[in-house]
């Protein structure tokens, strides 16, 4: 059995458990059908990530069924799950991890409403406060890209770099989200579908009203920095919470490391 040392092996086991368990959130929220969609998580402190096997039913996505890959998307031989084929989108996930060092999780779904916007090649406009909170503006459209190589990853990185949104609608395909970890990326996928549905329904009633940019900025800042509970162990004062660094990833300029 391939080992990376006790500390990294322990980190891999945690990510295997997280990524395995989080797939049930996709079915719980109705974001996937049959074996569609996938989640991956970066192993902290190592150039490795864990992703689901391709075309395996959700009930069978146990921790040991998850597949460990390096950041080129190559399966690590001699590890649990390594005899199976990894997700069709492994190269895309790997490209994101190589080029967005702050990203710790990537999710892909074909959730119904968000994918309907993707099929139209239309960004979801920021017309509800929940979008301003979670995405800080519109959810953008990414290019049409072929499945199986890193083309999707290139489109995700190009579209989300410098953008507040952690979700992109890849044209004619579906949703890709990024996050500080796999759970954060799953949250973005859940929220993307929710707002895609609401804004679609609103448009059936007429033209949704825009939110002024200053209000979007204010809502995003409050939700990212003040909303919710103070981190465990901290002094639970408003001032302490307000000074907590943003939990979001800032989708920084990508590194120059090239695709393999």
- The residue count of the chain comes to 260
Tell the smallest beta-carbon distance from residue 56 to ligand 5SP (Å): 7
Name which of 62 and 88 has its Cβ closer to ligand 5SP.
88
What lies within 8 Å, CB to CB, of 65 at 6+ separation is 20, 52, 53, 56, 80, 81, 84
Name which of 105 and 137 has its Cβ closer to ligand 5SP.
105
User: How far from the centroid of its chain's Cα atoms is residue 243's Cα?
Assistant: 26
- Contact range with ligand 5SP by CB under 6 A, out of 41-49, 68-76, 84-92, 185-193: 84-92
- Interatomic CA distance for residues 200 and 204, integer angstroms: 7
Asked if residue 143 binds ligand 5SP (CB under 6 A), the reply is no
- Contact range with ligand 5SP by CB under 6 A, out of 87-95, 122-130, 186-194, 218-226: 87-95
The dihedrals phi and psi of 39, each to the nearest 5 degrees, come to -130, 145
Question: Are the CB atoms for 60 and 34 separated by under 8 Å?
Answer: no
- Interatomic CA distance for residues 20 and 68, integer angstroms: 12
Question: Are the CB atoms for 178 and 96 separated by under 8 Å?
Answer: yes
Question: Are the CB atoms for 67 and 75 separated by under 8 Å?
Answer: yes
Q: 161: closest CA among 92, 100, 216, 93?
A: 100
Catalytic residue among 89, 133, 184, 194: 133
Residue from the set 22, 37, 40, 159 that interacts with ligand 5SP by CB under 6 A: 37
Name which of 35 and 202 has its Cβ closer to ligand 5SP.
35
Asked if residue 147 binds ligand 5SP (CB under 6 A), the reply is yes
- Interatomic CA distance for residues 102 and 98, integer angstroms: 10
User: How far from the centroid of its chain's Cα atoms is residue 207's Cα?
Assistant: 29
Q: Determine the angle formed by the axes of helices 90-99 and 151-160, rounding to 10 degrees.
A: 40
Active site residue 70: no
Residue ranges with strand state E in 43-186: 48-51, 67-70, 105-109, 141-142, 167-170, 174-179
Tell the smallest beta-carbon distance from residue 72 to ligand 5SP (Å): 18
Residue from the set 27, 54, 129, 161 that interacts with ligand 5SP by CB under 6 A: 54
Residue from the set 39, 49, 67, 89 that interacts with ligand 5SP by CB under 6 A: 89
Asked if residue 87 binds ligand 5SP (CB under 6 A), the reply is yes
Residue from the set 4, 13, 36, 198 that interacts with ligand 5SP by CB under 6 A: 36
Name which of 36 and 208 has its Cβ closer to ligand 5SP.
36
Binding track, positions 193-232, relative to ligand 5SP; x by CB under 6 A: ----------------------------------------
Active site residue 113: no
Name which of 52 and 166 has its Cβ closer to ligand 5SP.
52
Task: List binders of ligand 5SP among 95-124 (CB under 6 A).
Answer: 108
- Interatomic CA distance for residues 128 and 132, integer angstroms: 7
Residues that bind ligand 5SP (CB under 6 A): 35-38, 52, 54-55, 87-89, 108, 147
* Residue positions annotated with a catalytic role: 133, 227
């Amino acid at each position: 059995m391939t080992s990376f040392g006790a500390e990294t092996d322990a980190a891999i086991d945690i990510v295997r458990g997280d990524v395995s368990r989080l797939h049930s959130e996709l079915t719980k929220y109705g974001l996937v059908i049959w074996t569609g969609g996938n989640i991956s998580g970066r192993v902290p402190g190592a150039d490795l990530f864990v992703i689901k096997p391709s075309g395996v039913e959700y009930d069978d996505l146990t921790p040991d069924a998850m597949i460990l890959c390096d950041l080129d998307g190559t399966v690590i031989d001699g590890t649990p799950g390594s005899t199976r084929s990894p997700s069709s989108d492994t190269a895309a996930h790997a490209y994101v991890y190589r080029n967005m060092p702050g990203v710790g999780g990537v999710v892909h779904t074909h959730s119904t409403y968000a994918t309907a916007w993707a099929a139209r090649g239309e960004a979801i406009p920021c017309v509800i406060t929940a979008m301003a909170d979670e995405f800080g503006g519109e959810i953008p459209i990414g290019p049409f890209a072929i499945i199986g190589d890193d083309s999707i990853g290139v489109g995700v990185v190009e579209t989300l770099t410098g953008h507040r949104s952690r979700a992109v609608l890849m044209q004619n395909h579906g949703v890709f989200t990024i996050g500080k970890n796999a759970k954060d990326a799953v949250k973005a996928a859940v929220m993307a579908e929710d707002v895609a549905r609401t804004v679609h329904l609103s448009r059936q009633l007429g033209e949704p009203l825009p939110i002024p940019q200053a209000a979007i900025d204010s809502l995003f800042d409050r939700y990212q920095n003040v909303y919710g509970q103070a981190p465990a162990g901290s002094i639970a004062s408003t001032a302490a919470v307000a000074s907590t660094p943003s939990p979001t990833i800032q989708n920084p300029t990508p590194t120059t490391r090239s695709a393999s």
